[in-house]
Amino acid sequence: MRWTRSLIPTLREDPADAEAVSHKLMVRAGLVRQLAAGIYVYLPLGQRVMDRVNAVIREEMNRLGGQEITMPVLQPAEIWQQSGRWDKIGGEMFRLKDRNQRDMCLGMTHEEVIAWLAAREIRSYRDLPQIWYQIQTKERDEARPRSGVLRTREFLMKDSYTLDPDATALDVSYNAHKRAYCQIFDRCRIRYIVVDSDPGMMGGSGSHEFMAPSAAGEDEIATCAACGYAANVELARGVPAAAALPPASLSETGPREVATPNARTIAEVAAQLKVDPARTIKSLVFLVGDTPVLALVRGDHNLHERKLARALGAEARTAHPEEVVKHLEASVGSVGPVGSKGITRIIADESLKGGVYVVGANRDGFHLVGVTPGKDFTCEWADLQVALPGEGCPKCGKPLAVERVIEVGNIFKLGTRYAEMLGATYLDEQGQQKPIVMGSYGIGPARIAAAAVEQHHDADGIIWPWSIAPFHVHLVPIAVKDAAQMAATEAIERALTGAGFDVLMDDRDERAGVKFKDADLVGVPIRITIGNALAKEGVVEIRERATRAERKVPRDAVLDAVREIAKALGMA
């Protein structure tokens, strides 16, 4: 491909709104452009990267026995009503009506269509197992589209679904998928960690996420270097250090009111009363629909909203200060679990079992000391707290680390829920009707591309892994008006292309410095410079993007040299 005939709009400056490295570099290298919030155009280089990522995914899915299909983006409401998700999913689903006022939606995932299809096409145990997959557009009205292509409202997903007769067979399908995913991420040169995760709105009995460490990630995982434990912080439970004992004056039990003038935050209260913040309780008011719920965590901990949702069995949102006053007749800073008005449900983090604590008194300017959870107020116990670095690993007790990650893929054991709701059954060997056991597996190709950029770049630009690079070789003739140089460049281009390499030639009449800068930015693994040394010594210069290692190679030896480097870089 020739640069002068291509759309490769590189930029010198970072886009103003970009924070993530991958966002900056993918825009600057001319891979993508944003049409509207979370809606992107893939330009030729971006498209080539996506094609290569998808090719890797397809190969591994086919190797697994997956059969590629295409399901519609536009879907009737009925199947979502049957599964129960039409009402359960909130603003994330794009909904619309057709010309006959029938409810429709844009597919944010395809479990319903799969179960619908299985209900019609699978009859007997002889039809099972099945693996169906697609690489298809998903539409989700994400609350916070951000970080370039990492979280968009329209995106490509490889989604696959397994249909099995029973849970044992599902385990086999699930584990095979897990291996295929490792293969895909390994081939794309993504560093990743497989973690236990929360099945969330998918429901089901088990799930794992594939997490690529990166500062641009929106997820956090807790890991233990000692025993290999790894879990999403949505699920991880560290063993917190014990709270310091309160001073003698505050350790006696029986709630007693003390004045805490102007102390609103945990830090202020702890400082005034001279207690460890871990001896105070953070009382947080959430609303489930219109019903207020009080959630309690230790003063030095933070609450994880997904953990709360799991404990409640429903989504909850933080109450606004006015709503707190309206429901509890107390201000946000003074809310507490003893004698709180308007609260019928209190959920406390397990770390609050045992010991005495300082809590809000539901009266401005005062706190209660000597409060024993479970005795001075009744509550349900649950795991609510965000795992913190340094807390004990739940498996081995050694300190946990917490790191930011990009979720590049996930796998779920769905079980029979969708099959039951949509009537996807089969007849077993005894002629008995049984629900099909499903699994669901997703990968975001754009997140693979962006995670690769996050993990493989330097100050000058992207360093594409060989397997997903938009081109393999970037030819830079220095003097495009020099006929001999151009002829040599074209000969190299023909030789490389003929051998199966993808070649980009920068045939612009630009200064060498400009072309080199763009080559570094775009990040093609091998750059070949055809300049003065060709006429003088009969050599061209081959440079590896990753290591910047340069070598002079006779023009006739270019193909062999490229083959050798390609092999070292992991060409399959």
Smaller CB distance to ligand ATP: residue 195 or 324? 195
Interface pick for ligand ATP out of 75, 130, 340, 410 (rule CB under 6 A): 410
Does 229 bind ligand ATP (CB under 6 A)? Our answer is no
Residue 502 CB, nearest approach to ligand ATP (Å): 25
Stretch that binds ligand ATP, among 53-61, 149-157, 169-177, 290-298 (CB under 6 A): 149-157
Question: Longest Cα pair distance anywhere in the chain, in angstroms?
Answer: 94
CA separation for the pair 458, 84 (Å, rounded): 47
H helix intervals, 375-422: 417-422
Tell me the site size for ligand ATP, rule CB under 6 A: 16
For ligand ATP, the binding residue among 203, 238, 336, 409 (CB under 6 A) is 409
Residue 180 found at the interface with ligand ATP (CB under 6 A): no
Q: How far is the CB of 129 from ligand ATP (least distance, A)?
A: 21
- Choices 356-364, 376-384, 437-445, 544-552; region in contact with ligand ATP by CB under 6 A: 437-445
Dihedral pair phi/psi, residue 546, rounded to 5°: -65, -50
- DSSP for 21-61, written as a single string: HHHHHHHHTTSEEEEETTEEEEPHHHHHHHHHHHHHHHHHH
Is there binding between residue 54 and ligand ATP (CB under 6 A)?
A: no
Residue 310 engages ligand ATP in binding (rule: CB under 6 A): no
For tokens 């086919």, the residue is 62
Q: In this chain, which of 155, 161, 185, 357 binds ligand ATP, going by CB under 6 A?
A: 155
Of residues 371 and 443, the one with the C-beta less far from ligand ATP: 443
> Which residues, in sequence order, are CB contacts of 432 under 8 Å at separation 6+?
none
Minimum CB distance to ligand ATP smaller for 283 or for 410:
410
Torsion of CA 389, 390, 391, 394, to 10 degrees: 90
Tell me the window of 20-28, 83-91, 408-416, 515-523 that interacts with ligand ATP (CB under 6 A). Answer: 408-416
Q: Say whether residue 478 binds ligand ATP (CB under 6 A).
A: no
| Subset of residues 526 to 565 that bind ligand ATP, contact rule: CB under 6 A | none
Instruction: Please report whether residue 283 would count as binding ligand ATP according to CB under 6 A.
Output: no
Q: Which residues, including other chains, have CB under 8 Å from residue 553's CB and lie 6 or more apart?
A: 539, 540, 541, 542, 561
Which residue(s) pair with 32 in the sheet? 42
Using CB under 6 A as the binding rule, whether residue 46 contacts ligand ATP is answered as no
Q: Name the nearest CA neighbour of 151 among 141, 166, 137.
A: 141
Which of 552, 514, 516, 558 is CA-nearest to residue 536? 552
* DSSP SS3 for 508: coil
Among 238, 355, 444, 461, binds ligand ATP (CB under 6 A): 444
Q: How far is the CB of 140 from ligand ATP (least distance, A)?
A: 5
164 binds ligand ATP (CB under 6 A): no
Least distance in angstroms from the C-beta of 151 to ligand ATP: 4
Residues 6 or more apart whose CB falls under 8 angstroms from that of 11 comprise 27, 28, 30
Quote the Cα angle for 190-212-239, to 5°.
145
Residue in 34, 54, 147, 152 binding ligand ATP, rule: CB under 6 A: 152
Tokens of 402: 């917490």
Shortest Cβ 161–ligand ATP spacing (Å): 12
Q: Which stretch binds ligand ATP (CB under 6 A): 26-34, 46-54, 222-230, 406-414?
A: 406-414
Among residues 295, 337, 324, the alpha carbon closest in space to that of 312 is found at: 295
Q: CA 139, CA 373: separation in Å to the nearest integer? A: 45
Told to check if 442 binds ligand ATP by CB under 6 A, we report: yes
| CB of 449 vs ligand ATP, minimal distance in Å | 10
User: From the list 28, 48, 85, 151, which residue makes contact with ligand ATP (rule: CB under 6 A)?
Assistant: 151
Q: Which of 360, 340, 353, 342 minimizes the C-alpha distance to 382?
A: 353
Touching ligand ATP, residues 83-122 (CB under 6 A): 109
Cβ proximity to ligand ATP, 199 vs 525, nearer residue: 199
The half-sphere exposure of 104 on its side-chain side, counting CA atoms within 13 A, is: 13
Note whether 299 binds ligand ATP by CB under 6 A. Answer: no
Nearer to ligand ATP, 138 or 474 (CB): 138
Q: With respect to ligand ATP, which residue has the nearer C-beta, 142 or 383? A: 142
Q: Which residues of 145-179 are buried (b: 16+ CB within 10 A; e: fewer)?
A: bbbbbbbbbbbbbbbbbbbbbeeebbeebbebbbe
What are the residues binding ligand ATP (CB under 6 A)? Answer: 109, 140, 142, 151-152, 155, 157, 407-410, 442-444, 446-447
